């Protein structure tokens, strides 16, 4: 896509270990998405259930990541100005690939605690915002 290449050419991404991270608790993130790859390390992809994998089979988590990284793309793409993104992304797959939220509702709180714990254990001193 021409617009993807144009946007990436005028965007600089933070590579600092001290950059704040937005951690998406959702259906995972498709790390191969060209607009997300520069701001998302493989080591920052997590899941609460290893059998689910970390990829997004639904698309919702990937869309949330794009919105968290760029904001409204309508505004971003209508400009030719350079773009500097000073934050990075993390992901925790909290929902299975089939899109259901199966299981005992009494465990939903536990699952959320588990999801928050994964990136905190991996990078305990990192500044992060959960979404």
Residue 99 has pLDDT above 60, yes or no: no
pLDDT band of 26, cuts 50, 70, 90: very high
Q: pLDDT tens across 56-80, in order?
A: 988 999 999 999 999 999 989 999 9
What's the total number of domains in the chain? 1
Contacts of 45 (CB under 8 A, 6+ apart): 28, 29, 31, 54, 90, 91
What average pLDDT is seen over the chain? 92
Q: What would the mean pLDDT of 14-30 be, rounded to a whole number?
A: 95
User: What pLDDT score does 42 carry?
Assistant: 96
User: What pLDDT score does 86 carry?
Assistant: 98
Q: pLDDT tens across 2-11, in order?
A: 999 999 999 9
- Give the pair of three-digit tokens for residue 2: 């021409």
DSSP per-residue string spanning 52-117 = G-SS-SSSHHHHHHHHHHHS-HHHHHT--S-EEE--EEEEEE-S-TT----S-GGGHHHHHHHHHH
Q: What pTM was estimated for this model as a whole?
A: 0.90
- For residue 112, report the phi and psi dihedrals to the nearest 5 degrees: -65, -40
Residue 30 has pLDDT above 60, yes or no: yes
User: What pLDDT score does 1 carry?
Assistant: 81
Domain with 68, as residue range(s), is 2-130
User: What pLDDT score does 100 carry?
Assistant: 63
């Amino acid at each position: 896509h021409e617009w993807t290449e144009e946007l990436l050419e005028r965007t600089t991404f933070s590579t600092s270990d001290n950059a704040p991270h937005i951690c998406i608790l959702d259906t995972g993130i498709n790390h191969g998405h060209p607009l997300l790859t520069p701001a998302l390390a493989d080591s920052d992809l997590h899941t609460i259930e290893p059998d689910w994998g970390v990829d997004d089979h639904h698309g919702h988590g990937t869309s949330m990541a794009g919105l968290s990284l760029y904001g409204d793309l309508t505004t971003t793409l209508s400009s030719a100005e350079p773009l500097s993104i000073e934050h990075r992304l993390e992901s925790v797959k909290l929902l299975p690939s089939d899109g259901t939220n199966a299981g005992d509702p009494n465990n939903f709180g536990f699952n959320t605690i588990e999801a928050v714990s994964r990136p905190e254990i991996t990078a305990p001193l990192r500044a992060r915002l959960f979404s």
